[in-house]
Amino acid sequence: MFKKVLIANRGEIARRVLFTCREMEIATVAVYSDVDRRAVHVLEADQAVCLGAADPVESYLNIDKIIAAARETHAEAIHPGYGFLSENAGFAERCAKEGLVFIGPPARVINDLGDKITARNIMIKGNVPVIPGMIQSESDPAVLAEKATEIGYPVMIKASAGGGGKGIRIVNTPEELQASCEAASREASVAFGDGTIYLEKFFTRAKHIEFQILADGHGNVVHVLERECSVQRRHQKIIEETPSPSLNPELRAEMGSAAVAAAVASRYVNAGTVEFLLDENNTFYFLEVNTRLQVEHPVTEMITGIDLVRQQLEIAAGNPLILSQDDIVARGHAIECRVYAEDPANNFMPSPGKIAYMQEPTGPGIRNDCGVYSGFEVPVNYDPILSKLVVHARDRETCLPRMVMALKNYILLGIKTPIPFLIDVLESSPFQKGQIYTDFIERHFSEWQPRLVEADMARIAFIVDEMNANRRKKTAVLSEQTVSTPFATLGGWRL
């Protein structure tokens, strides 16, 4: 096993990797940008190397600097986490060239699966069902219009190099097609440096079900069950759970086999996730493979007892999988809520700022993979995830109140969070019944505002606090972050 690993990421996921490394007695090297000197991963790693300016291009996306940091600290391997360089084939290749182990799939696999069209073709050859759509990218409007008619509206425009909901457009009528294709291509171009697009059938009432896979360098492949990730806002998952309330054992086995087939077809190595779309007739289609550790990996860990980061490290070190498919058995139910610095009542606008006070929920079956702390200033420069709150209980019915309780006991002052929104979603009748589709939020919660049922208690708390105001150290009053304006409009997501 490696003696030292560099973690090329920040916040909660860097800390997550750090935990497992420490347990395996692997020394850790954190890297950080100028604004992250006080970030948890820097405080907790054995060593930390400053990369440079806040802009990711100068720090977390800067391959040369990261390689230099690994050299300087004599790290043997690099864990990329998720986001940043985790699905960058060039980075994986560079690591290999430098004699460093990239903890993830080989560059070839990242390349093949990163190009959505290539991935579709691999899956078709591997007998993995794919969504009706184009098998090559296109820029000719006439061809696109013809294909769209062939597939049948609504269609979805996707970026060939895409991921994370970027460069995606849904087109309902032929009239919108051309403008949408141009916009999507432009957005993809900005986000990925590649404006290539293609079309797929769009399913209005679909579910997003994904399977965790593990594949070693010796030809062993297993799937580690599914995750239900249909609850999304702006194509980004916010609540994930496992087992999926939509699968029965037969369908689970069938989709699990397809996930393994996808891994085999792409000659996959390390941990990955095969994403499927499940339509209302329980027919499933391959969507894409995420060639990295997934944000929502903890729900799988909770129900299987498997440490996925440890598996990644073992595989990267060349060890064979010790798990066989029969060893992988679910126990109970797990749910994850992503807690972002954002305002759920205002279109999920980011809400960076200083965390004046934080208190994490605790209790049996509660895990909070957290990247921030009281007094930490959440930087404006990166993804707004603060933590992933995960609960585990014997079944879904028990899991739901446990998560609601945990959310109510999760105190974050100084920034806005989706906590009240998440509570309302979890307590809603369609969620409780498992009627979850990718349009869940738009359908049920598009005009969501917090229910201010305890306003009178809040007024009383105000008065009591005011009467005892002198007990608190006077801190500089935080700057205004609450005014909503109709003149701010949301744009696309940047990498």
Catalytic residues: 292
List the beta strands (DSSP E) in 153-202.
Answer: 155-159, 169-171, 197-201
Residue choice 12, 187, 200, 241 for contact with other proteins (CB under 8 A): 187
Q: CA nearest 329: which of 231, 381, 256?
A: 256
With respect to other proteins, which residue has the nearer C-beta, 142 or 458? 458
CB of 373 to a second copy, least distance (A): 9
Task: Please check whether residue 33 is in contact with residue 59, taking contact to mean a CB–CB distance below 8 angstroms.
Answer: yes
| Site for a second copy contains 187 (CB under 8 A) | no
Interface with a second copy in residues 317-336 (CB under 8 A): 331-332
| Site for a second copy contains 396 (CB under 8 A) | no
| Site for a second copy contains 241 (CB under 8 A) | no
Binding partner selected for residue 143 from a second copy, other proteins, none, CB under the kind-specific 5 to 8 Å limit: none
Dihedral over alpha carbons 469, 470, 473, 476 (to 10 degrees) = 60
Residue choice 2, 6, 13, 16 for contact with a second copy (CB under 8 A): 16
Binding partner selected for residue 394 from a second copy, other proteins, none, CB under the kind-specific 5 to 8 Å limit: a second copy
Residue choice 135, 143, 329, 461 for contact with other proteins (CB under 8 A): 461
Task: Please check whether residue 10 is in contact with residue 36, taking contact to mean a CB–CB distance below 8 angstroms.
Answer: yes
CB within 8 Å of 127: residues ≥ 6 apart: 261, 265
Stretch of residues binding a second copy (CB under 8 A), selected from 139-147, 206-214, 232-240, 401-409? 401-409
With respect to a second copy, which residue has the nearer C-beta, 292 or 388? 388
Q: Show the binding pattern over residues 20-59: x = contacts a second copy (CB under 8 A), - = does not.
A: x-xxxx----------------------------------
With respect to other proteins, which residue has the nearer C-beta, 125 or 186? 186
Q: State the pairing for strand pair 353-354/333-340.
A: unpaired
Task: Please check whether residue 436 is in contact with residue 230, taking contact to mean a CB–CB distance below 8 angstroms.
Answer: yes
- Token pair in block for residue 287: 């969507």
With respect to a second copy, which residue has the nearer C-beta, 296 or 369? 369
Number of Cβ within 10 Å of residue 220's Cβ equals 15
Task: Please check whether residue 328 is in contact with residue 225, taking contact to mean a CB–CB distance below 8 angstroms.
Answer: yes
Task: Please check whether residue 328 is in contact with residue 222, taking contact to mean a CB–CB distance below 8 angstroms.
Answer: yes
With respect to a second copy, which residue has the nearer C-beta, 24 or 53? 24
| Site for a second copy contains 383 (CB under 8 A) | no
Interface with other proteins in residues 361-390 (CB under 8 A): 373-375, 380-384
Q: CA nearest 228: which of 257, 249, 260, 206?
A: 206
Angle at CA of residue 229, ends 225 and 234, nearest 5°: 155
Residue choice 414, 440, 441, 444 for contact with other proteins (CB under 8 A): 414
Binding partner selected for residue 25 from other proteins, a second copy, none, CB under the kind-specific 5 to 8 Å limit: a second copy
Interface with a second copy in residues 278-307 (CB under 8 A): 298, 301, 305-307
Please report, for residues 83, 127, 234, 352, 448, the alpha-carbon distance to residue 263 in angstroms, rounded to integers and kept in the order given: 21, 12, 28, 38, 40
The helix (H) or strand (E) run that includes residue 256 is helix 249-265
The amino acid that residue 80 corresponds to is P
With respect to other proteins, which residue has the nearer C-beta, 250 or 447? 447
Pairwise CA distance, residues 445 & 233, whole Å? 10
Task: Please check whether residue 118 is in contact with residue 285, taking contact to mean a CB–CB distance below 8 angstroms.
Answer: no
Pairwise CA distance, residues 113 & 199, whole Å? 17
With respect to other proteins, which residue has the nearer C-beta, 322 or 464? 464
With respect to a second copy, which residue has the nearer C-beta, 433 or 474? 474
Interface with a second copy in residues 426-485 (CB under 8 A): 473
Could you report how far apart the first and last alpha carbons of the chain are, in Å? 32
The residue behind tokens 């150290």 is 473
| Site for a second copy contains 371 (CB under 8 A) | no
| Site for other proteins contains 470 (CB under 8 A) | no
Residue choice 3, 23, 37, 397 for contact with other proteins (CB under 8 A): 37
| Site for a second copy contains 379 (CB under 8 A) | no
Pairwise CA distance, residues 198 & 194, whole Å? 12
Binding partner selected for residue 19 from other proteins, a second copy, none, CB under the kind-specific 5 to 8 Å limit: a second copy
Task: Please check whether residue 339 is in contact with residue 386, taking contact to mean a CB–CB distance below 8 angstroms.
Answer: yes
Binding partner selected for residue 432 from a second copy, other proteins, none, CB under the kind-specific 5 to 8 Å limit: none
Binding partner selected for residue 307 from a second copy, other proteins, none, CB under the kind-specific 5 to 8 Å limit: a second copy
Binding site for a second copy (CB under 8 A): 16, 19-20, 22-25, 298, 301, 305-307, 331-332, 360, 362-370, 393-394, 398, 401-402, 405, 473
